[in-house]
Amino acid sequence: MKHDVSNNKHFKSFRVKRKAPSGEKKETDQRETNSIIKSHLQLIDERGNLQRLAGQLNALSPLAVMERGFSLVRDEAQTVVGRAAQLKADQAVTIDFADGTADAIIRNKPTLKVEETP
């Protein structure tokens, strides 16, 4: 990404008023200034990448998923129950929601979905 720094307030401090240095010194100073500006711009770009990745990570977090209405069911051994077939009638479970937990008892044998054959 190319950045225009000609009027950028962050880089005005790099323009130092002083006696005109020799040609070689002036070129060295300019190279150092350009290097600092380039490094700063790379940091700005990387900060944007980091913020984007943090947003993606947050969207995938279990708590963010639970905030969208999903819950987590655990059995008596605190093992995650991922399928209805793992449950039995009269089994105690704990349900984790985004804002808390609730204990529940499975009243009936779960009704399983029938897979359609093509």
Over residues 98-108, the pLDDT tens digits come to 999 999 999 99
**Cβ-contact 22, 28 below 8 angstroms:** no
For residue 83, pLDDT over 70 is answered with: yes
30 belongs to a structural domain: yes
- For the chain, the domain total comes to 2
Q: Both ends of the chain: CA-CA distance in Å?
A: 50
Please, which residues have CB within 8 angstroms of residue 106's CB and are 6 or more apart in sequence?
87, 88, 89, 90, 91, 92, 93
Query: Looking at the whole model, is its pTM more than 0.75?
Result: no
Report the 10 Å Cβ neighbour count for 71: 12
Residue 112 lies in a domain: no
pLDDT of residue 13: 57
Q: Is residue 44 part of a domain?
A: yes
Look at residue 12 in the predicted model and tell me its pLDDT: 58
Residues 47 and 30 placed together within one structural domain of the fold: yes
Residues 6-17: tens digit of each pLDDT: 556 655 555 555
117 domain residue, yes or no: no
Residues 26 and 56 both lie in one domain: yes
Q: How far apart are CA 51 and CA 114, in angstroms?
A: 43
Are residue 100 and residue 77 in the same domain, yes or no?
yes
Between CA 11 and CA 6 the distance in angstroms is 8
Parent domain of 56: 22-60
The per-residue pLDDT for range 61-81, each reduced to its tens digit, is: 888 889 889 999 999 999 999
Identify whether residues 28 and 55 lie together within a single domain.
yes
